[in-house]
Chains A and B, each alone.
Chain A
Amino acid sequence: MTKQETRARERQPAPRITDVTELKRIAQELRRQVVRLVAPTGQGYVQQGLGAADLFTAMFFSELRLDPADPAWPDRDRFLLSTAHNTAIFYATLAARGCLPEASLADYCKDGSPLEINASERIGPLIEATCGSLGQGLSVAVGMAMALRHQKRDARVHVILGDGEMQEGQVWEAALMAGARKLSNLCLILDYNRMQVGGHVDNVVGLEPVADKFQSFGFRVETIDGNDMDAVVGAFARARAHSEAPTCIVADTLVGKGAPSLEGILGHNMKLPADLAARALKELAGAGA
């Protein structure tokens, strides 16, 4: 047995945090980090980040099996962000989990930095695929899930899709495959914040009844409040326990969640001037855990 194999056997993934109060505290800190990342340059997606903070916190601190010291660990759970652009919260989460140096966040969206506004694998192996051309992440996740099953590995694949992204036909090609092959090691999370570039999803091309659609494609579907930490952690756990079908978690999220002055404002490319950022930080310091 090589040294490397010994190391793999003795490996303990980073411990899962199961205390919901602690997860809520982390999510609130990540929200403040999102504002701090986006405010200086106006680059980055603040509304989406605040809305998805609970999903990312539960995903990286409670659900995913990973080892921050060895991001390429073959038996890690895979996570893909199919939209790729919600990086303020993604990078803040990776840094808080020890998967990115905190100091590197200072380069967010700066020319030459691997921390591009759309997550690129230039960062390293935890960016499992370079997405951003919408509709592609689920296909890659399906391939990974099939390969994991073929290799008889028990790692899981999680992929967050945006709601506007559901309008891409490729998503439904991949969903058909995931359902037909009963990929129970796959968990799709729909970050259903109702916002796309043109405004409210329903005013562009509505998705409803989206839960029924995924159910009819062979998914086990749960609809939850994506800003309720208990609900998110519970949904991930139930997905993990289910062995008959892939899971789709339709997570209703609120853009700007946590900062009352920003909540519900459908600003896809919203800038955050210094005064608004200061107010949001104040709100986020007072609320939550």
Chain B
Amino acid sequence: MSSASSAADQTVSDFIARGATGPLPRHYGDALVAAARKDPRIVALCADLPGPTETDLFQAELPDRYFEAGIAEANMIGMAAGFARMGQIPFVHSFCVFVTRRAYDQVANQVAYPKLPVKIVGFLPGLTTMLGVSHQAIDDVALMRALPNMTVIEPSGPEQLAGAVTAALETPGPVYLRMLRGDAASAGIAPKPLLRTGEVLRRGPHGTIFASGLSVAAALEAAETLAKDGSDVSVVNIATVKPLDTALVVELAKSTGIVVAAENHSIIGGLGSAVAETLMEAGVPAGFARVGIQDTFAEGGTTPYLQAKYGLGAKDIVAAYGRAAAQRHAIEKGRA
């Protein structure tokens, strides 16, 4: 197009191309298409978000297995149940908040109760969007954890997005995938399998940080800081939040005595709650602190701003370790 052409000559594509910063890698979307090519039972449903949920390639490559649900998440979940009852394996897509909170009763009755192989895929976990409270899933893990028969999976980063597809397919029943798209810098990143057990990323005797999603990177950074101060801690990636690897949680809590749980989610009902429930019932007297959204709604903003303002960063994990260590010290003192 010549520079002299008027606005009227330009197509929508021209405008989009001018505003784009280059396509994001499609770690999840490509893996889903690859899986669907192998397994004809896989279908994709999407509530008008093919780009943001990385299902645009699926739509282009396997159009007869892509079902656009429109902006109607409750109906989409019901439709997915219908597909599953006909022998298909539906992956349903929207933002985390809409496939969980908005369609909760439908997920409970039509997916979780009948144990159907519906894979519920949400994007924009926790505080990762400028779109504000309406689009921020701060309670989705709590909601999905509370449903019987539901498996809850959150990859640690772009390296586990493809692995999430494999994990979802290896799980026979309903699965909730809590996904965050990789940025442009993550293109070509080597994929890592997503484990059902806790994945020990770093071993240290002085404490354990259990983390999921975005908080895994923050936990590793916090561990570096703590090491400089003389505390050598373990870091565990909990990609499968439910069912939780309780054996590992108990083992490391017992052996290290200080436990921090960190997540990009409310402190109520998510990973921190799951770890606390496990430790209390096991009778493990560890020092314990949670890092997460402190029972508050947030606001729209960039991810680094939100993660810092709402206390989800590496320095918050370091501070939480300090609180847990002090508590541990008090427990020991009480015993003596």
Contact = CB atoms under 8 A, between A and B. Distances in A.
Contacts of A150: 43, 64-65, 88
Interface in A162-186: 169-170, 173-174, 176-177, 180
Contacts of B80: 143
Interface residues of A, number: 29
Given A173-B72, A176-B72, A139 B77 contact: yes
A151 B85 CA distance: 13
Contact of A173 (B74, B81, B82): B74
A180 B78 CA distance: 17
A76 to B, nearest CB: 11
A278 interface: no
B114 A121 contact: yes
A128 interface: yes
Interface in B63-84: 64-65, 67, 69-70, 72, 74-83
B183 interface: no
A147 B110 contact: no
Contacts of A136: 78, 105-106, 109-110
Interface string A223-245: 00000000000000000000000
Contact of B105 (A128, A133, A145): A133
Interface in A128-165: 128-133, 136, 138-148, 150-151
Contacts of B78: 136, 138-140, 142-143, 170, 174
Contacts of A129: 81-82, 85, 110, 114
B86 interface: yes
Contacts of B87: 74, 147, 151
Contacts of B106: 133, 136, 139, 170
B83 A143 contact: yes
B64 A176 contact: no
A121 B69 CA distance: 26
* Chain B interface main SS type: helix
Most buried by A among B65, B70, B82, B114: B82
A130 B113 contact: yes
A147 B82 contact: yes
Interface residues of B, number: 27
A225 to B, nearest CB: 30
B99 to A, nearest CB: 14
Contact of B67 (A146, A148, A176): A146
Contacts, number: 95
A150 B41 CA distance: 11
B75 A141 contact: no
Contacts of B79: 139-140, 142-143, 146, 174, 177
A177 B113 contact: no
B82 A140 contact: yes
A112 B74 CA distance: 31
B75 A173 contact: yes
A265 B97 CA distance: 44
A251 B335 CA distance: 74
Contacts of B64: 150
B135 to A, nearest CB: 20
B251 to A, nearest CB: 39
Contact of A146 (B77, B82, B110): B82
A114 to B, nearest CB: 14
A144 B85 contact: yes
A177 B110 contact: no
Most buried by B among A128, A140, A145: A140
Contacts of A176: 70, 72
A144 B82 contact: yes
A174 B75 contact: yes
Nearest to A153: B86
A180 B67 CA distance: 12
26 contacts: A74-B87, A121-B114, A129-B110, A131-B109, A136-B78, A136-B105, A136-B106, A136-B109, A136-B110, A139-B76, A139-B77, A139-B79, A139-B106, A139-B110, A140-B78, A142-B75, A143-B80, A144-B83, A144-B85, A146-B82, A146-B83, A147-B86, A151-B86, A169-B74, A170-B78, A170-B106
Interface of A: 74, 121, 128-133, 136, 138-148, 150-151, 169-170, 173-174, 176-177, 180
7 closest A-B pairs (Cβ-Cβ)? A143-B82, A139-B78, A143-B79, A147-B86, A173-B75, A173-B72, A144-B82
Interface of B: 43, 64-65, 67, 69-70, 72, 74-83, 85-88, 105-106, 109-110, 113-114
